[in-house]
Every structure is written in structure tokens, then in C-alpha cells.
Structure 1
Amino acid sequence: MHALAAGMPHVTVVHGSGDNPVYQVGGKSFVFFRNPRPDAVDPVTGERFPDVIVFWVESDADKQALIQDASTPFFTTAHFNGHPSVLLRACRIGDLTYAELAEVVQDAWLSRASARRAAAWLAAR
């Protein structure tokens, strides 16, 4: 995951709270790692999830497609209602193929990159 995010063009990595990496393009975050928060908890134990990754998405339709598809490990919480992002527990990355994870990272980058950078990256592909 880290290599995919860092491998996108014009990416910088800053460190947020808890020294968690925040991947940015043009000063805009597109993937970041959260500290355990009260809105993302194990429904059985009530323990806060220690490994939540946030990925930006282009639109609410994209978000809904990911979180409503029961075959994906993506989810959201009430804290992220109205926010263009989806959540994924790091322990569930293995539920995705490399190609699926790459697509999510690339789409997150595209949703935050400038139109010029996004067009250049897409044209090069």
C-alpha cells in the first residue's frame, strides 16, 4: 500500500498524529492512516480499530459503490457521512488483489490531483 501511494507522481508524505503517514498530492491528502477513534470499533469487543486507512473517492456514487458491495472490505462510519472517502482496515488489505488495491490508490490520487496532473498521468498510461 505504501509503495503504491508513494509511487504516484508528485506525492509528498507528511506525518499526522501518532506519526501516521499522510500521502498528499499538491498539498491535498488522498490516503492517510487514522489513529484509533471511537467511531470505528469492533462490533463484538467494542475495541477501537487500530488500523483504519482512509482513501479519498471522486464522488458519493463511487463511495456508495464500494461500501454497498458486500464483496469489498470497504466501510464508512457516521463520522464520514458526506465526506468523499472510504475506510479500510489494514488487516483486510489481503481481501483485495494487488490490482484492486492499486486501482483504489490511483483513484484516490486522481480525485485529489490537479486537473493538469491527472490528465498528464492518464495520458502517460
Structure 2
Amino acid sequence: MADADDVRRLALALPHVVEIDSDGFDFRVADHGFVWSYPERRPGKPRAIRTDIAVLYVGDEAEKQALLLGEPELFFTTPGYDGLPLVMLWLAKVGVDRLEELVTDAWRMRAPDSLAGDLGGGGRPR
């Protein structure tokens, strides 16, 4: 099963990725976040950075719902993410191969077309 070190290794293997200094992990391409640690907010308490949960950019609401409904053991959301094309992923429940696919897809959706070809295979997923 995967962990924050796997996220870091996979994200940094992608072209033009910048890691933002944080208490967890936070990766961007062309100034757009594509995977980061979940900043859990609990009423009356300070925000807690959860490195056991990754937030992934998924492109649109349809993809978000497909992941949430299709693999509820892996993905979840919170009211704070309503209307946003983001899902949370339990890292301990996902294999490294599946994590690589998810991180790469998130990168492709956030990278401008001028960078997407640098990955090989070209273009956007789907």
C-alpha cells in the first residue's frame, strides 16, 4: 500500500513539477496544484495536515462522482470540497501502481498542453 513517500516520489518523477514547502506534501505544475496532503479542518481546532490522505485534482464533477461512487473504499470528500473537482484518497488503501495512475492523470489535467507532451504519450487522459 502507498504512503506520502510514494506520492512524493511519483510526483517529482513528472516533468516540470515543483514541490511547495509545507508540513505535508504539495505538488504543482505551472502554478497549479495537482496533489497535496489533506488539510483537515475540525471546528474549534487548528487545521491538521494529514499526510495519510492525498487530495487529487480530478478535472470535473463527473470524474469526481465516478471515483466516489466507483471506489468508495479509496475515495471520499467533505462539504468543504463541494463543487470543486477534488477528491481525497486514503493512501494506505491504494496500491502504488494505482496511485501512479491517479497522480499522473492529475498532472496531465493541470499541465498546460505545452508541457503535457513532455510526459510522453502526449495529451490529456480520456
TM superposition score normalised by structure 1: 0.77
Are residues 1:23 and 2:12 paired?
no
Pick one of 1, 5, 11 that aligns with 1:5. Answer: 11
* Partner amino acid, structure 2, of 1:84: P
SS state at 2:74 partner:
coil
Q: 1:66·1:72 contact (CA, 8 Å) conserved in 2?
A: no
Cα offset for 1:116?
1.5
Q: 1:58·1:107 contact (CA, 8 Å) conserved in 2?
A: no
Are residues 1:61 and 2:59 paired?
no
SS state at 2:97 partner:
helix
Structure-1 residue corresponding to 2:96: 98
Q: Which has the higher contact order (CA 8 A, sep 6+)?
A: 2
| 1:54-90 Cα deviation digits (max 9, x unpaired) | 110122111111111145411111110111111023x
* Partner amino acid, structure 1, of 2:70: D
Structure-2 residue corresponding to 1:121: 119
Structure-1 residue corresponding to 2:79: 78
Identical positions, percent: 32
* Partner amino acid, structure 2, of 1:110: R
Aligned residues: 112
Structure-1 residue corresponding to 2:3: none
Provide the aligned C-alpha RMSD in A: 2.4
Instruction: State the alpha-carbon separation in 1 of the partners of residues 71 and 121 from structure 2.
Output: 33
Cα offset for 1:15?
1.8
User: Which ranges of structure 1 fall in alignment gaps of 5 or more residues?
Assistant: 40-47
SS state at 1:58 partner:
coil
